[in-house]
Chains A and B, each alone.
Chain A
Amino acid sequence: MSATKYDRAANIARAEAALHDVAKIKRAEIVFWLAALASVFFLQDQYLLLNEVAITGLFALSLDLILGYGGIVSLGHAAFFGVGCYAAGLLTKYGVQDPIIGLFIVAAITAALGFATSFLVLRGTDLTRIMVTLAVGVLLGELANRLPRLTGGADGMQGIDPGLLLGRFEFDIFGQVAYIYSLIVLFVLFVIARRFVFSPFGWSIRAVKENQLRTSAIGIPVTGRLVVVYTVAAAYAGVAGALLTQTTSFASLDVLAFHRSADLLLILIIGGTGYLYGGIIGALLFKIVQDAIATFTPEYWEFWIGLILVAFVLIGRERIIGAPMWIWRRLRGAA
């Protein structure tokens, strides 16, 4: 009987080793960030586009936290992005010139908003969540439209003049400082997110996504976990919005529009959910595709985005995302 004896210490050690293995930094990750670093030196004429990719990537990363890890389908995530945009603009206009201090304040504001709305969102079924997130998004868009003195209304907020970054660097028209700034913020927040999802806390959030009933049965507070991840994601989205305002010196109603939430969902799905890089890769692919489509049909590119969405669902997300991996495995198997 001794062979099958339950050895608690050994089991725990084995589980810890397995979790540790998953959390280890992989070679592909190092290559990924080196490539991002290289883009600063070799793609100087693409800074403006890359800046957008970095910001959208951060925005999609925040959706990944709630969708890929928390399992919450949101159709109104642009709400936090938009609030971040306008908050950053207002801060710059009325006193707080330093961009980085601005980011911290915006993060606090959107985190508070996320915390407050999380209680609305976490009730009920998928449908209720979709509708409530949608309604919150539309509500904020309407609010921004109705407060032109604060937001500039349909004309957008103008006259935003962010101060010098770290008191030294001015945002130039080529977007060099802007891109480097956005990329560093993205990297720092990514590292934090990575620590977060591989912490015991992060594993418990995955457990909540898998099965709420069983997770609560082993003593993990389901609602509490989701509130935390929703709040964190809201802060991330707010920071992404703030970056957009600071680097483009402009904020318009478009940041709260429905299509932004919908596009974001597409971006994350293209890149794949639940491994953090999906949002950034999806943002890159999306911008490239959008750019390519917009050159031959500038007005009706949404049609093709819609077609991609429909095709994605009908062919199957797993199959499309899995295809490169499958080919890679076949190639390695053949070699």
Chain B
Amino acid sequence: MLTNLFDGVAYGMLLFLIACGLSVTLGLMNLINLAHGAFAMAGGYITVVLVNRMGVPFFAALPLAFFGSALIGLLLERTLYIHIYRKPHLDQVMFSIGLVFMAMSGTGWLLGTGQVFVDLPKFLSYRFDIFGLLSVGAYRLLIIAVCGVLALTLQLAIAKTRFGAQLRAAVDDPTVARGLGINVDLVFAVTFSVGSGLAGLGGALGAELLGLDPSFPVKFMVYFLIVVAVGGSAGMVGPLVAALLLGVADVSGKYYLPEVGAFIIYLVMIVVLLWRPQGLFSRAGGR
């Protein structure tokens, strides 16, 4: 029971780490980016290549996965995404689906279409019992620790720092923000890049838990969208709570009710969207 809860929390933390960038670009900047999962996949594959083929230690590969995905995100934002911020939603949908298709078959072509696994350090497969109630895996504990620290950092960065204030201003009203001397393009580019990098880190950390293959961006697309839609767009707390709920519901749903488990999350999402179309934690006056 508690073990399930623990695994669900680890799963939810991963979903949060991957989706938090999306909650800014989609939730705040109103850019429908269905290709967000592709950045997570990029991080995962960077780790696989570094660890398995080049023998880089797992913990050294994680930051590289972050920077690699962030760099890809930055390049794509500067060259392609910048043209579609103001396009109609239909164009954004088509554009990002196109990117997903390219990422999926490109990855399949380069690295094979089968599922890949990261050679994790031995000690991460260690499990220990706590009073016989809870069986804690070191790997999941690591995920929870890393994601927890990052979530806290992000919330502080957005709420307390100068850059966070600039981002909030740029999102609320780009024109006025420009008038105040904020370099809106730069703020968006940095945000997009960091969001992609975090997704990449999530993909790298979670490659083992989520399962990594070229269909990753489509398989988890709905999950990331749920986190954003249910979490709303007021800071990082909403998406975090949404991701944790989703993770716990999904893991225990599939465990206790294997027949209907896969449906629960979709039903929950539809119900939530009908009940509160702006998400559970929406901000008054926000867009």
Stretch at the interface among A19-27, A28-36, A139-147, A229-237: A139-147
Please state if B99 and A310 are interface contacts (CB–CB under 8 Å): yes
Taking CB atoms, residues of chain B closer than 8 Å to A120 are 270, 274
Question: Nearest chain A CB to B14's CB is how many angstroms away?
Answer: 20
Please state if A300 and B95 are interface contacts (CB–CB under 8 Å): no
Q: Nearest CB to that of B79 among chain A residues?
A: A314
Q: With A and B bound together, what is the CA distance between A307 and B80 in angstroms?
A: 12
Question: Nearest chain B CB to A312's CB is how many angstroms away?
Answer: 7
Q: With A and B bound together, what is the CA distance between A128 and B30 in angstroms?
A: 12
Please state if A300 and B32 are interface contacts (CB–CB under 8 Å): no
Contact partner of B93 (CB less than 8 A), chosen from A73, A135, A314, is A73
Question: Nearest chain B CB to A146's CB is how many angstroms away?
Answer: 7
Please state if A309 and B94 are interface contacts (CB–CB under 8 Å): yes
A299 at the interface (CB under 8 A from B): yes
Q: Nearest CB to that of A311 among chain B residues?
A: B98
Question: Nearest chain A CB to B193's CB is how many angstroms away?
Answer: 20
Please state if B270 and A262 are interface contacts (CB–CB under 8 Å): no
Task: Please report which residues of chain B, range 223-262, place their CB below 8 angstroms from some CB of chain A when the two chains form the complex.
Answer: 225-226, 229, 259, 262
- Give the A interface residue count (CB, 8 A): 42
Please state if B98 and A306 are interface contacts (CB–CB under 8 Å): yes
Stretch at the interface among B102-110, B123-131, B142-150: B102-110
Contact partner of A313 (CB less than 8 A), chosen from B30, B91, B106, B222, is B91
Known contacts A135-B269, A139-B266, A142-B262, A123 near B274 by CB under 8 Å? yes
A93 at the interface (CB under 8 A from B): no
Question: Nearest chain A CB to B109's CB is how many angstroms away?
Answer: 5
Taking CB atoms, residues of chain B closer than 8 Å to A310 are 80, 95, 98-99, 102
Please state if A135 and B84 are interface contacts (CB–CB under 8 Å): no
Contact partner of A302 (CB less than 8 A), chosen from B32, B92, B101, B225, is B101
- Total contacts A to B, CB within 8 angstroms? 120
Please state if B91 and A317 are interface contacts (CB–CB under 8 Å): yes
Q: With A and B bound together, what is the CA distance between A102 and B147 in angstroms?
A: 54
Q: With A and B bound together, what is the CA distance between A143 and B266 in angstroms?
A: 12
Q: With A and B bound together, what is the CA distance between A154 and B98 in angstroms?
A: 26
Question: Nearest chain A CB to B245's CB is how many angstroms away?
Answer: 16
A291 at the interface (CB under 8 A from B): no
Please state if A314 and B95 are interface contacts (CB–CB under 8 Å): yes
Q: Nearest CB to that of B108 among chain A residues?
A: A300
Taking CB atoms, residues of chain B closer than 8 Å to A301 are 105
Please state if A314 and B80 are interface contacts (CB–CB under 8 Å): yes
B283 at the interface (CB under 8 A from A): no
Residues of A within 8 A of B (CB): 67, 73, 75, 120, 123-128, 130-132, 134-136, 138-139, 142-143, 146, 258-259, 262, 265-266, 269, 299-303, 305-310, 312-314, 317
Residues of B within 8 A of A (CB): 26, 30, 32, 80, 83-84, 87, 89-95, 97-106, 108-109, 218, 221-222, 225-226, 229, 259, 262-263, 266-267, 269-270, 273-274, 277
Q: With A262-B97, A303-B106 given, name 10 new contacts (CB 8 A).
A: A127-B26, A128-B273, A259-B218, A262-B101, A266-B94, A303-B105, A306-B98, A306-B100, A306-B105, A307-B98
